[in-house]
Structures are given as C-alpha cells and as structure tokens.
Amino acid sequence: MTRQYLVLTATCLGESLMLVSLDDGAIDDLDLVLGQTHHQLGEAGDELAQRLVRAAKLRLRRDGGCFQPIPGDNWRSASYEAVLEVAPSLVPEFTSEITDRIWNTLEPVLRQHGRQDVFGVVVEPTIPPLPDVAADWRARAEQHAAIGLPSNQARRERADGGYPMVDGLTFGSRAEVVVYELLVNLQRACSPHRAIAVMPLPAAKLRDAGVRTPDFVVLGNGRAVVIEVDGVHHYGTTRKADDADRDRHWDRCGVHTVRIGTHHTDEPASPQELLHEELHRWLFPPN
C-alpha cells in the first residue's frame, strides 16, 4: 500500500497536531507518530509507558489479515500491525498491561494520520549488528583465554583461591553466599521499574582510604548501598573503629552502609527482612 506524502493540521486534545499520510516505510514520519504518542502518554501522567516509548522505534508491517474499509462492499484491504523495536534488555518491561496502555494511545494517533488499517501492536527486540571479526579470531581467542579476563571482583579472594563461587562470582565466606542468595531473591521479586543490581566484592578507590572492597554494593534508582557481612572478628575494639572509619568514607560519598552479623545468616528470614527494609529505605525513598 503506497501513500503520497501529505501534511495537514488538526486539533487533538486542544493542541495542534501535525498529520502526515503515512507510507509503510516512512521512517521519519513514523518517528513523528511515536513522538506524538510519547507526548500524549505524558499528558496522561503515564511516565513508565512514556519512558519505554522513548526507547523504541516504530514501524508498520502487514499482519497477514485483511479488512473491509467500507463495510458491505467487495473491496478488501491488507491489515497491519505496529511494531515497537526495542533493545533486548527492555523487552521484559513491556508487560501486557503496559503494552495495552501504549496501544490505547498509539491507535488513535495512527487513525488521525489515516492509518485505520493498523489493528494491534507487538514488541520485538532489535537485532544487534554482527561484530567485525579478524581472520585469526581463533588464535586471538586462545590468547585471551590463556591470559584470563581482567577483573576487580574479589581480587584478593581470586588470587588466593579456594573461596566459594556462585554464578561465576567469588565470595569471601559462606555467610556472604547466603546474603547474595537473599539479594538475588529480592532482585527477582522487584518489579522491572524498581530493578536492582548486586555487585559482590568490587574494588573501589576511596579518597584518603586507599582501595577498599565492600562485601556488596547494591545499585537501584540511581542510588547505592554498601552491605557488609560482619564475622565475629568485627566485634573487637580495634576492628569496630576500623569499620566505623570505612563507613565514614562511604558516608562522604553519600552511600549508606548496612551491616549484617554472620550469626544472622543461620536463619535467613531475619536478614532477608532487614535487607528488604533497608534497600527500600535507601534506594527507593518516598517522595
């Protein structure tokens, strides 16, 4: 189906709306339609759907069906679907509920542009470009494997060896593994727009404190929390003073420290409740 380019002006929700007669492959015009949909979602206060639309590209394609533009006659025209192409990591965020909200806004915008033949929306991941690979890629791969991948994760523990590993990550103790598993459970329970990232034993350079390796750093909502798993050796006077000094350096960075005693990890329900409360308090504070 071919349509000639045409610019009109109409009124939509009290504002001027540029109308274009959309050709199936009109990339710039389809982006305009997506921008108008983004604007309408913002007017409705749907910030989550608006953010997801901003990260998408729109195209139209035939869905294999047909419809009668004028009911009762013998003319049938091909029907289409709107395709939102997004990064693969964003696809899970397009739940059926959010996709329906986007379609309820996108459909009337398309119709005002003369596309009454679009009957639904689908979300698909973009296909990343193929990488440039040298002819000697096998030799290079073997060389990298022999050297090993660089990592600041658990640098001391990896050097010594013999420490527990989960998901390819190294931990300083079994108690840290318990806390990691609790954090992963909380991570899975979080809704997509409240996602958290869990970083065990990362190396960090702090001002006036050299390089420090907190047991965990958890990221979410543009904020961070340090989690320390304290064994019995942390309860001596000297070590308490050292821990307080470490916490003070993180406080200067605007990062709160949560401390969990290893004895609590024997009963995971207790630290799980604490972690849930502290992460929500410091990463997702009420407005």
Total-model pTM: 0.50
Which residue numbers in the chain have pLDDT < 50? 1-17, 234-236, 238
Residue spans of the domains in the chain: they are 7-125, 151-283
Question: How confident is the model at residue 2, as a pLDDT?
Answer: 38
259 neighbors 230 (Cβ within 8 angstroms): yes
Question: How confident is the model at residue 22, as a pLDDT?
Answer: 65
- Hey, CA dihedral for 151, 154, 155, 161, is it positive or negative? negative
Question: How confident is the model at residue 265, as a pLDDT?
Answer: 78
Question: How confident is the model at residue 139, as a pLDDT?
Answer: 85
Task: List phi, psi (to 5°) of 109.
Answer: -65, -45
Condensed to tens digits (0 to 9), the pLDDT of residues 43-69 reads 999 999 999 999 999 999 999 999 888
Question: How confident is the model at residue 99, as a pLDDT?
Answer: 96
Please give the Cα distance from 169 to 149 (Å, whole number).
13
Helix axes 27-43, 96-112, angle to 10 degrees: 120
Question: How confident is the model at residue 13, as a pLDDT?
Answer: 37
Best CATH choice for the domain 151-283 from the list 3.30.70, 3.90.550, 3.30.470, 3.40.1350? 3.40.1350
244 Rama class: left (phi>0) / alpha (psi -120 to 50) / beta: alpha
Please give the Cα distance from 176 to 185 (Å, whole number).
14
Condensed to tens digits (0 to 9), the pLDDT of residues 95-150 reads 999 999 999 999 999 999 989 999 999 999 998 778 888 898 888 778 766 655 55
112 neighbors 82 (Cβ within 8 angstroms): no
Hey, what amino acid is at 104?
N
125 neighbors 91 (Cβ within 8 angstroms): yes
Q: In DSSP terms, which residues pair with 80 in a beta bridge?
A: 62, 118
Please give the Cα distance from 94 to 87 (Å, whole number).
11
Question: How confident is the model at residue 242, as a pLDDT?
Answer: 64
